[in-house]
Structure 1
Amino acid sequence: MATAPFSRFEFLIAWRYLRARRAEGGVSVMTWISLVGIALGVMALVATMAVRAGFRTEFVGTILGANSHVEIGNYAYVGENGVRTTALTDYAALTERIAAIPGVARANPRVSGFAMATFGDRSNVGEVFGVTGDVLAQLPTFAGAPQALGDIARFDEGIAIGAEIARELGVGPGDRVKLIQPNGVKTAFGVSPRVNVYEVVYIFSAGRSDVDKTRIYMPFAEAQAYFNREGAADQIEVYLDDPEALDALVPALAEAAGEGRFVWSWKDRAGAFLNALAIEDDVMFVILTLIVLIAALNITSGLVMLVKNKGRDIGILRTMGLTEGSVLRVFFLCGAFTGVIGTIAGVLLGALIAWNIDPIMSAINYMTGGGAWDPSIRGIYRLPAELRAWDVGRAVALSLTLSFIVTIFPARRAARMNPVEALRYE
């Protein structure tokens, strides 16, 4: 009896076989074990890939939000006074050339150095950046952040410091912090430290622990005087319209910078870490693939038991004219149903975990006493999750492919069963 492939009666028979009676409880149990195993495997795969994608997005976002996309500066050279320096004396003209390149959103000069910040009996070492107030206000994670304190509009009247420096020093907006810099005032008897007192007018949180615990911002002109950079800058900060399109702009930036100058990008700064994340993503996908494969192999066990229990039915169907192809498709559908239902359940469970990752992490932190997520180690303050269609599609394709492949072998065994042998002892 020739029938169209995957006819309605084939679906009905397959669905009936999956709903085994109590007397055939072994088949039913194996089906449930297979379904639950695949669901858990897919759930783990979807949730893990969502967290990994969210972590990378958050990490890159905080890098781009707290730092320039490209930095351009001088290699060390001997200045007019015979002292080796890296100062950019033509920073104004260089900034204009760079800002005119298509794809560059803005560029600005910067002075940078280190200083000791003290308040009362507390002290800390900070990295001081000298920029103008409009530059600081345009950094995505600085202005208007929920954790920010003070008035960024008063930046020209004092300094802005990171939230963790402020916490360690015990200062707030309006307090006056002493900054000590060893290479300060030049006198006839040598160089004496420079000690200046500044009002803290703004406390920011950039979303990165390493920035919040080290970064101090100072007005550009004041930083030039404080670090002995009169008429010079240390680097040119460059911000791009599309930071991911950096590679196409590097040649133009290098040409505008000229000889003897370096171009240092955000990918150079965090490239090793991002490459490590990519490798970990691939390794995690392979490991979780093995979990899904082990779960899918349970389908084979369940179908082998089903074929053994349904030997008499197979013989009757074959004597009624059912072809080998129809029998194969019936038992293939039995396994496919398990794979499809388990995959759908796994995707839904994985999505629920990804959408509720913050409450889950809060619960884990509560149970572990707050040590489940340490920003000082991981850099960012929270564990985000980002469901991407590509990751969900890969998980679904992997689960269904494995489920279909492992189903073929017991289905072929059922199709090739001799009806005479099947009915001989009935």
Structure 2
Amino acid sequence: MAKTPPPFAPFEWKIAWRYLRARRVEGGVSVMTWISLIGITLAVFALIATLAVRSGFRSEFVGTILGANAHVTVYSAGNFDAQGNLDRTIEDYDGVADRIAQVPGVERAAPLVKGQVLITNRERSSGVEVFGIQPDDLLDLPGVAESEQAVGDLSEFQNGEDVIAIGSGVARSIGATVGDTVKLTSPNGVKTAFGTSPRVNAYRVVYVFSAGRYDIDRTRVYMPFEQAQSFFNREGVADEIEVMVDRPEELTPILIPILEAAGERSQIWTWQDASGGFLRALEVEDNVMFIILSILVLIAAMNIVSGLIMLVKNKGRDIGILRTIGLSEGSVLRVFFICGAFTGIIGTAMGVGLGCLFAIYIDPIFSFVNYVMGGGVWDPSIRGIYALPAELHLSDVLKAIGLSLGLSFFVTYFPARRAARLNPVEALRYE
């Protein structure tokens, strides 16, 4: 009794390879193979490139938020004074900050004084938001203290008086640089018998930073804490407590201990509350883009079906002969399955390679596109960050590979099964 060959035996691979290399005179199968291969390659490339850009955009956005903003902000619910005005300042800010800093998982708690002012340099003015912060606490903000595009020295911020640090966008808008003296004008200044007159003070710029976010660089100014208290009439009080934690993306377990440490009538506001809507929009967009690009991969995989159907039609006589000399239905199915699956595997591998190269070399690619288009392709005032980011994740690559191979194998099965069920008598009837 003859021994049954194992599945995917060498002769099955040999026959499949012969069909994949079919000449144009044999029905144009090679042309359809190339079309299927290019389609799968481009679809997988587009999927990986899009996933990398979306991951990079979210990572860059979250990184710039966490690098220059409080992870958790603690402020007072407020009390009404004798005139009926709501006072939300924190009096025992050092004590509150010390208690919060002792909560497990909290890296730092720092009091802040905040206010909006008009900054003027010569004849150019701009509205900015001033953050009064202790110099040591400013050094703990990586988006500011570790800015690669920063100009100046923060040691002068620690030692000097009447000094400020400004964002690069603020510097551009008013034409200021390190060493210049600018004026800050606050509408809530000195109280006189005739009302409140604006307060105008001059400050020397000692540091210009770029936090990586256009909206931060365009509006943010840092001032030593004591000077901010004096400038904004906050002597002896702070507006809020800025809290930095070890794991900012997992805030839920630490919020209640922070609130308890802050004391009664305290409230909290997290970075997720401030940017949650945008992050949820990014998540929805990620899911929608994946679905759309999955359809693109499916369309590309359908080219494999077209090529296999043509191959089965052109090779009907061969199928009849192979069945006559003893090939089983399973062997014929596997031969044509290999033809389609091989195209899907090669196309997927090429698409993964192109997608990974795109993510790795996105900066020179984007610079070239920007040069060809004459500049202005990326507007940071609209998108918030200064460049198109890309971040390659193994999970995204595996997701694209699984989707492409799964669809390729799935659509290949049906024309391969049709070939296996072809009646050899009918195939050879007119030969």
SS at match of 1:182: strand
Matches within 5 A, 1:6-405: 6-79=8-81, 82-156=84-158, 157=160, 158-405=163-410
Aligned 8 A contact 2:152 2:207 in 1: yes
The residue type paired with residue 410 of structure 2 is I
For residues 279 and 15 of structure 1, what CA distance do their matches in structure 2 show?
43
The residue type paired with residue 192 of structure 1 is S
For residues 83 and 234 of structure 2, what CA distance do their matches in structure 1 show?
14
Q: 5+ unaligned residues in a row in structure 1: which ranges?
A: none
Q: CA deviation at 1:258?
A: 3.0
The residue type paired with residue 298 of structure 1 is N
SS at match of 1:71: strand
Q: CA deviation at 1:369?
A: 2.1
Q: CA deviation at 1:144?
A: 4.1
Deviation string 1:102-148 (CA, Å, 9 cap, x unpaired) is 11011100000001011111111110000011111121122242321
SS at match of 2:8: coil
SS at match of 1:335: helix
Q: Percent identity?
A: 62
Deviation string 1:405-426 (CA, Å, 9 cap, x unpaired) is 1111111110001111111211
For residues 368 and 30 of structure 1, what CA distance do their matches in structure 2 show?
35
For residues 276 and 83 of structure 1, what CA distance do their matches in structure 2 show?
38
Q: Which deviates the most, 68-77 or 216-225? A: 68-77
Q: CA deviation at 1:82?
A: 4.7
Report the equivalent of 1:417.
422
The residue type paired with residue 123 of structure 2 is D
The residue type paired with residue 61 of structure 2 is F
Aligned-pair Cα RMSD in Å:
1.2
Q: CA deviation at 1:279?
A: 0.6
Q: CA deviation at 1:77?
A: 2.2
For residues 424 and 83 of structure 1, what CA distance do their matches in structure 2 show?
99
For residues 369 and 78 of structure 2, what CA distance do their matches in structure 1 show?
50
For residues 250 and 10 of structure 1, what CA distance do their matches in structure 2 show?
63
SS at match of 1:386: coil
For residues 153 and 291 of structure 1, what CA distance do their matches in structure 2 show?
55
For residues 259 and 9 of structure 1, what CA distance do their matches in structure 2 show?
80
Tell me the TM-score normalised to structure 1 length. 0.98
Q: CA deviation at 1:186?
A: 1.5
The residue type paired with residue 173 of structure 1 is V
For residues 351 and 25 of structure 1, what CA distance do their matches in structure 2 show?
35
Aligned 8 A contact 2:24 2:31 in 1: no
For residues 354 and 144 of structure 1, what CA distance do their matches in structure 2 show?
25
SS at match of 2:65: helix
Tell me the TM-score normalised to structure 2 length. 0.97
Q: Which deviates the most, 78-87 or 29-38? A: 78-87
For residues 79 and 376 of structure 2, what CA distance do their matches in structure 1 show?
48
